[in-house]
Amino acid sequence: MKPAKVLIVDDHPIVREGLKQLIQQDEALEVCGEAEDCGAALQLIQSAQPDVAVVDLSLKKSSGMDLLKSAKKMAPEMKILVLSMYNESVYAERVLRAGANGYLMKHQAMTNILDGIHRILNREICVSDNIAKKILHEFAQQPSPLSDNISEILSDRELEVFGLYGQGLKTRDIADRLNVSVKTIESHREHIIQKLHLKNSAELVCKAVEFVLTEQKPSE
């Protein structure tokens, strides 16, 4: 059988090179391309037709979440493994709902990444045991009408903007990063303030910094 084609999407060249070397050690896999942003990744998805894409959520001048949604429309049969530094308790379920087939954190062992690629190629879902238990537990419970969980209250784009504020970026910086207008980011900011019942932009930034510091802690 021909090796499965793997596309690597990450904005750090060192990470891409490490993943490439890892994947090339597996005779059942081959790297068919690398990209650092959404536009280049979509071009490669169209031209190289990968079987699986390994995608980071934080990309250069673009969003991994946006790429995920666009990629599923362009190539619905392609499998996607999200590999990110962001805490899985916040993002794993969100990316699965958006169409990803698995979520791993970057600090996990390299052998887990290869195993994750093979699992999703075999039509399995790849998440940690903790997240699998959490999903099953939530499925068994009656849904509550309201939630205090920020990741559930905010939309995908609002959560992304909120996180970027928490990383210290200004409104203009966020607009440039996401390739949208300042007015669009200001609109997202106001929606976030309303949804989280905050008083003003200053309180939003404080809350966002607290959120980022919390959600970037490694899962136990």
Q: Which of 8, 11, 27 is nearest to 177 (CA)?
A: 11
pLDDT at 216 over 70: no
- Supply the CATH number for residue 198's domain: 1.10.10.10
CA separation for the pair 104, 138 (Å, rounded):
20
- Tell me if 133 is assigned to some domain: yes
pLDDT at 220 over 50: no
Looking at the fold, whether 175 and 122 belong to one and the same domain comes out as: no
Looking at the fold, whether 132 and 191 belong to one and the same domain comes out as: no
105, β-bridge pairs? 84
CA separation for the pair 102, 80 (Å, rounded):
7
Looking at the fold, whether 161 and 124 belong to one and the same domain comes out as: no
- Supply the CATH number for residue 10's domain: 3.40.50.2300
Domain that holds residue 207: 150-215
pLDDT at 67 over 70: yes
* Average predicted confidence (pLDDT) for the chain: 85
pLDDT band at 42 (very low <50, low <70, confident <90, very high): very high
pLDDT digits (tens, 9 = 90+) for 162-171: 999 988 899 9
Looking at the fold, whether 56 and 160 belong to one and the same domain comes out as: no
- Exposure of 98 in the CB half-sphere (CA atoms within 13 A): 23
pLDDT at 110 over 80: no
pLDDT digits (tens, 9 = 90+) for 1-32: 799 999 999 999 999 999 999 999 999 999 99
CA separation for the pair 76, 58 (Å, rounded):
22
More confident residue, 109 or 10: 10
Terminal C-alpha separation, the chain? 39
Average pLDDT for residues 169-185, to the nearest whole number?
Answer: 93
Number of domains within the chain: 2
CA separation for the pair 162, 12 (Å, rounded):
22
Average pLDDT for residues 57-63, to the nearest whole number?
Answer: 80
- Tell me if 220 is assigned to some domain: no
CA separation for the pair 199, 166 (Å, rounded):
17
- Tell me if 145 is assigned to some domain: no
pLDDT band at 143 (very low <50, low <70, confident <90, very high): very low
Q: Are the beta carbons of 153 and 193 closer than 8 angstroms? A: no
Amino acid identity of residue 133, one-letter, is K
- Tell me if 87 is assigned to some domain: yes
More confident residue, 213 or 164: 164
